[in-house]
Every structure is written in C-alpha cells, then in structure tokens.
Amino acid sequence: MSTHRLPILNYNVVPDGTGNVWAAPLSTELALASAPGNEMCIVMPAAATISSDTGIYGKFTVPNTFAAGSETLVIRGILDGAPSTLVIAFGVQLKANADDESYDQALGAQAIASASSVSQADEDVYEETIDISGTTFAANDDVNFFFYIDDSVHTYTGLFLLTGLFFQYTDA
C-alpha cells in the first residue's frame, strides 16, 4: 500500500464570485530577493477583508488506484505576513458523483483545519491538512469542491498564497 498526492489545482479551478481571491505570479505578491517567483499562486484573503467563507471552486477525478480509508486534503502555500498568535483556518466542502448520478447535488458538510500560534515567519512555506475520510469516494468519481478560508475561525491578517492543493489517498 502506497500513499499518493493527486494535484487538484487544475483548469477546473475558479475563484468564487467575491473578488477577494485571484491568481497571480508569486513575484507580484512577495518582495523576493533570490527566488524567481514566476510560478502562479491563488491569492487567498486576509481575515479582515472577508465576511464569509471565501475561496475557490474546482473539480477532480478520483484515481482508479484509490482505496477508501485515509483521504486527506493537503494544502501548501506561502504566508504573506507573519502569523504569530493568529489562527490560520481552511475549510472544504466536497461532493463525489459516480456514473449515472445527478450532477445537481449540494456540496457536503464542511471539513475544517485550523492552527493557532504558528511558528512560521513571513514568506515561509506552510502546509496544512484536512481529514476528508468522512466523504464517500469511489475510484473514477468526479468530485466537485469548494476550498476556502474559514471566516468563522480565521484571524490571520496576511494573505495566503496557495501554491498546491492535493487529494492524498492510499492505493489498493
């Protein structure tokens, strides 16, 4: 049994309609001295700029090597501001659809991960995980998702520059 990370930031990802989330090169968001910063990121908002959960919608297909049991959403990005004692909080809502199931279904209940008193500094890479094993997935399902900054918990005053979002699973 092996653990795999399927990248799910793809052409199906679109910012929500708030205008508080956008795609940009890292170099336009950070004051870089050495790194080229040409790669793209999704700019996620600071707590003070939002009044509701704010993020991106997307879709991915569960690989045919998938075996249920330990599904995790892995979030990777760069902190644009020192977090100190503030809370960084992410959430996700998912809906898996199999062949011959209606597409027009609401997303499932939210799954949340949050961390306070984070030791990283401004411009550090930050990784967080959300346990999503409560969602019913099957191999080859199409999964619609809403990934967001959780407004009810998030107090981080900096931007979060999302550089990776992964569906982590074990194979059969």
- Examine residue 13 and state whether it is found in any structural domain, yes or no: yes
Q: Are 157 and 82 in contact (CB under 8 A)?
A: no
Residue 30 belongs to some domain of the structure: no
d(CA 76, CA 91): 14
pLDDT, tens only, 119-151: 889 999 999 999 998 888 899 999 999 999 998
Q: Which amino acid is at 131?
A: D
Give domain status of residue 33, yes or no: no
Structure tokens at 151: 């407004």
Counting the structural domains of the chain, the total is 1
Band of residue 24 on the pLDDT scale cut at 50, 70, 90:
very high
Residue 29 lies in a domain: no
pLDDT per residue over 85-107, tens digit each? Answer: 889 999 999 999 988 888 888 99
Q: How many residues does the chain have?
A: 172
Query: 């996700």: which residue's tokens?
Result: 92
Can you give the residue range of the structural domain that contains 75? 3-24+39-171
Confidence class of residue 70 from pLDDT cuts 50, 70 and 90?
confident
Write the CATH number for 141. 2.60.120
Q: Measured in Å, how far apart are the chain's first and last C-alpha atoms? A: 6
For residues 71 and 8, what is the distance between their CA atoms, to the nearest angstrom? 14
